[in-house]
Amino acid sequence: MRDRARAVIIGGGITGCSVAYHLARAGWSDLVLLDKGALTSGSTCHAAGLVTQFNPSPTMMRFRRYSIELYRELGVFETVGSVRIASSPESLAELQRGVSRARAIGLEVELASPAETLRLLPQASSESLYGSVYMPGDGNLDPHSATYALAGAARDLGAEIRTGERVTGIELGPRHEVRAVLTESGRIETEVVVNAAGMWGPQVAAMVGAQLVSTPVEHQHIALAAVEGHELPHDLPCFRDPDYLVYGKSEAGGALFGGYEHDPAARWLDGVPWDHSERTVPADEARFAPLMAGAAKRFPFLADAGVVKLVCHPDAMTPDGNPLVGELPGVPGFFVAAGLSLNGFGGAGGIGKAMAELVTSGESELDLQSYRPWRFGAVHRDPVYASENAREAYRYYYRLRYPLDSDVLGRPKRTSALHERMQDAGAVFASKNGWERADYCEPGKPWRRAGEEQRAFGWAEPPYSGVLAEESAALRERVGLIDMTSFGKIAVEGPGAAALLERVCDAHVDRSPGSVVYTQFLNERGGIVADVTVTRLGEQQFRVVTGAAAIDSDLGWLRLHMRAGDDAVELRDETDALCVIGMWGPHARDVLQAVTQDDVSAPVFPFGRGRALDVGGGRVWAQRITYVGELGYELYAEPGWGVQVWDRLSAAGARHGIRPVGYRVLDSLRMEKGYRAFGSDLTAGDTPDEAGLGFCVALERKGEFTGRAAVEAQRERGIERRLRTLLVGEGAYECVYGGEAVLAAGAVVGRVRSAAYGYTVGQMIASAYLPRELAPDTPLTVEALGARVAAEVAADVLYDAENIRVRS
């Protein structure tokens, strides 16, 4: 066996073979791909082979589109088209949203009527048929042929493929960097390893001491024999019927169909046996029965079809159903392309290309932010919790997931020190990164956990809109209190702390102790990969505060930017060490002053500063910043003091009409104020200048930082699009939730990034990136559930544009 390679790929499924092909094509042909069995001896072996481009995520849609092109080039793709059916009015509405979102990201699709659907699928029943989306470019493939074709193409370019060779360890150097791969028959020296080991991925990551989170979740499909008189033609479009939870295609005159059960099974939570290969696992007929019934509703003759085989096999499912793609922080040279989450054939082509770009140049053309392999952290160390999340993601693969709904499995996982107080406040809890957090509070009513709430009211205005209006008024006119303990908090400490943060942040953060700076982390292309505040607590002591779900992603990003030779820096997740109370409203200062002897008057405690206060003998770190656009504070206390502080604030605030509030209203308030949300308004594809955050970027005040060159180049060129605030409709609630197409003169000019009803301005507000040259008075429409609602570009900031309230 060779003893050196430029790169070693672990795993000969569709993903590993695609990575090998793309790396070889990029000139890295001195590589070896290893598989412990034969090629296709993992999940790849069992795929049904359907691939569609229809997906709400721009990156996943592009992955799939590219994958299809690649399979076509290799001559392994059958372009028979696909039909996604709506079997209920709710699904039709979701399809309408899907069409609008697809058009907004550049995929030309139309809704087909029931009659058109029956023309495409004449064998289908017309019962409960509300319409469909037809994608002529979709189709299917044979998983073996596709994988072997990619492996063959890689081999032709010089790559070596070795089967029957299990990787047993990975040797690391003094910086924890990859040095060699150890196998059952030797050692291969290398600087780059790509972990494409599918559901064994976490075990391979453990070889370098890293945590990777995915759970094997079982998936089943069935081959049915042809029914006389109902033979299905070979070129029948593939079909998906999410209401009945099934997909399928024609096979040998009969049908192959599978689906996503409502009660999926996870297995091997403590590790996948190394000797498992292409064998199936025992099928569960009872679990499959509802899918069988679903398929027979859409194609009644299938009820009489003979069963050829029911296949069951797990695939690596991540807690959010997205793959794991990227280099692992802290282990230079260790890349991951795993956790394909039942999307292997759709994803693998594009992921292979992106991985080759990452390995060879450090950056990928596409936004891989949502796929960072280190995004799951401490809470997912519990394999049972990780598996509950994975099962939840699986069961919503087809089942309609409303945007305002919350996970239900694995709860409660993390509760804050203030949880009981929020329960007393009648909180309706949702969950975020394991935390129970109030969506809204109904004082006097019993608390409860939210789940599939929106299923009850569909796309209409939420029945709790009145409660949100009350919460909004409390924060705007009096004072509101919210438990924000779920904030991610990262301690950055040591002699190298300031330099590391200056390298990563676009703002100047090396300021005096007590400064609180709003900043972004940028990638080399100037795209926004984190949106945080940085507080300087001492000369060598900083705290980065981020969203609940972004903590692991941001911590990993900071790690990735540590360099050999830097002064020492310690990075620590201190999320659990502090509980956080948010208090905002015109009376916030009066309430705070009433609970502390320390002077909190405006001259002593101005906006953008933080300081320690004594509250009832406990030490509280208070910082004067806001996400709602009002005077107020974030108060950080050790969990043991949290209730004490909450109670004192509540008591002192009683005469001002203080009210506990939840997270939902924050969206409404921040949109009125033009504050951006990470993940929707801000993504790796958006730059600070495009997002209207150019004021954060301190080009003059600081030296080198990641993204600087890209920001400068863009300033030179000028931006082509800009995030705008839109007012949608005439004042009533509109069914806009994000992703919808924004049109000018009938042409798509952008897509909605965020949407919320603004209770102070009495309007539905949305944000969208629009072409720079679009005149502000251009009449616009937003597609809302198939209807076109009039919209107009408004001022960026709809409420207190002069910041008088914030700085009062």
| Residues binding ligand FAD (CB under 6 A) | 10-16, 34-37, 41-44, 46-51, 166-167, 196-200, 204, 219, 221, 277, 311, 313, 315, 338, 340, 342-346
Q: Work out how close the CB of 194 gets to ligand FAD at its nearest, in angstroms, rounded to a whole number.
A: 11
Closest by CA to 518, choosing from 504, 530, 507, is 507
Based on CB atoms, which residue is closest to ligand FAD, 345 or 627?
Answer: 345
Strand partners, 194: 9, 335
Structure tokens that stand for 471 in this block: 């919460």
Based on CB atoms, which residue is closest to ligand FAD, 219 or 508?
Answer: 219
- One-letter amino acid for residue 540 of the chain: Q
Residue 319: asked if its preceding bond is cis (omega within 30°), the reply is no
Q: Work out how close the CB of 75 gets to ligand FAD at its nearest, in angstroms, rounded to a whole number.
A: 18
Based on CB atoms, which residue is closest to ligand FAD, 138 or 483?
Answer: 138
Distance CA 191, CA 85 (A): 48
Task: Produce one character per residue of 518-537: b if its CB has 16 or more CB atoms within 10 Å, e if not.
Answer: bbbbbbebbbbbbbbbbbbb
Based on CB atoms, which residue is closest to ligand FAD, 41 or 406?
Answer: 41
Based on CB atoms, which residue is closest to ligand FAD, 76 or 92?
Answer: 76
Q: Work out how close the CB of 155 gets to ligand FAD at its nearest, in angstroms, rounded to a whole number.
A: 17
- The end-to-end CA distance of the chain, in Å, is 72
CA 503 to mean position of chain CA atoms? 25
Q: What is the dihedral of CA 330, 334, 337, 339, to 10 degrees?
A: -50
Based on CB atoms, which residue is closest to ligand FAD, 3 or 110?
Answer: 3
Q: Work out how close the CB of 306 gets to ligand FAD at its nearest, in angstroms, rounded to a whole number.
A: 20
Q: Work out how close the CB of 751 gets to ligand FAD at its nearest, in angstroms, rounded to a whole number.
A: 25
Distance CA 41, CA 496 (A): 47
Distance CA 427, CA 444 (A): 10
Structure tokens that stand for 484 in this block: 């924000």
Distance CA 425, CA 336 (A): 44
Rounded to whole angstroms, what are the CA distances from 556 to 193, 360, 530?
A: 19, 20, 11
Q: What is the dihedral of CA 276, 277, 279, 284, to 10 degrees?
A: 60
Based on CB atoms, which residue is closest to ligand FAD, 321 or 610?
Answer: 321
DSSP string, 436-491: EEEEEE-TTSPPEE-SSTHHHHTTS--TTHHHHHHHHHHHHHS-EEEE-TTSEEEE
Whether the Cβ atoms of residue 527 and residue 367 lie closer than 8 Å to each other:
yes
Distance CA 58, CA 349 (A): 15
Q: Work out how close the CB of 707 gets to ligand FAD at its nearest, in angstroms, rounded to a whole number.
A: 31
Distance CA 335, CA 748 (A): 37
Q: Work out how close the CB of 711 gets to ligand FAD at its nearest, in angstroms, rounded to a whole number.
A: 36
Whether the Cβ atoms of residue 362 and residue 356 lie closer than 8 Å to each other:
no
Neighbouring C-beta atoms of residue 719, cutoff 10 Å: 17
Structure tokens that stand for 387 in this block: 């598996």
Structure tokens that stand for 38 in this block: 């034969």
Distance CA 28, CA 13 (A): 19
Closest by CA to 429, choosing from 452, 398, 450, 399, is 450
Structure tokens that stand for 25 in this block: 């094509």
Based on CB atoms, which residue is closest to ligand FAD, 386 or 474?
Answer: 386
Based on CB atoms, which residue is closest to ligand FAD, 155 or 166?
Answer: 166
Residue 639: asked if its preceding bond is cis (omega within 30°), the reply is no
Q: Work out how close the CB of 60 gets to ligand FAD at its nearest, in angstroms, rounded to a whole number.
A: 11
Distance CA 535, CA 543 (A): 5
Q: Work out how close the CB of 314 gets to ligand FAD at its nearest, in angstroms, rounded to a whole number.
A: 6
- One-letter amino acid for residue 496 of the chain: G
Q: Work out how close the CB of 196 gets to ligand FAD at its nearest, in angstroms, rounded to a whole number.
A: 6
Neighbouring C-beta atoms of residue 171, cutoff 10 Å: 15
Closest by CA to 399, choosing from 262, 222, 248, is 262
Q: Work out how close the CB of 220 gets to ligand FAD at its nearest, in angstroms, rounded to a whole number.
A: 7
Based on CB atoms, which residue is closest to ligand FAD, 352 or 738?
Answer: 352
Based on CB atoms, which residue is closest to ligand FAD, 330 or 346?
Answer: 346
Q: Work out how close the CB of 212 gets to ligand FAD at its nearest, in angstroms, rounded to a whole number.
A: 12
Based on CB atoms, which residue is closest to ligand FAD, 183 or 668?
Answer: 183
Strand partners, 310: 222
Q: Work out how close the CB of 415 gets to ligand FAD at its nearest, in angstroms, rounded to a whole number.
A: 35
Whether the Cβ atoms of residue 416 and residue 485 lie closer than 8 Å to each other:
yes
Q: Work out how close the CB of 280 gets to ligand FAD at its nearest, in angstroms, rounded to a whole number.
A: 8
Based on CB atoms, which residue is closest to ligand FAD, 11 or 707?
Answer: 11
Strand partners, 7: 31
Based on CB atoms, which residue is closest to ligand FAD, 47 or 649?
Answer: 47
Based on CB atoms, which residue is closest to ligand FAD, 209 or 779?
Answer: 209
Q: Work out how close the CB of 340 gets to ligand FAD at its nearest, in angstroms, rounded to a whole number.
A: 3
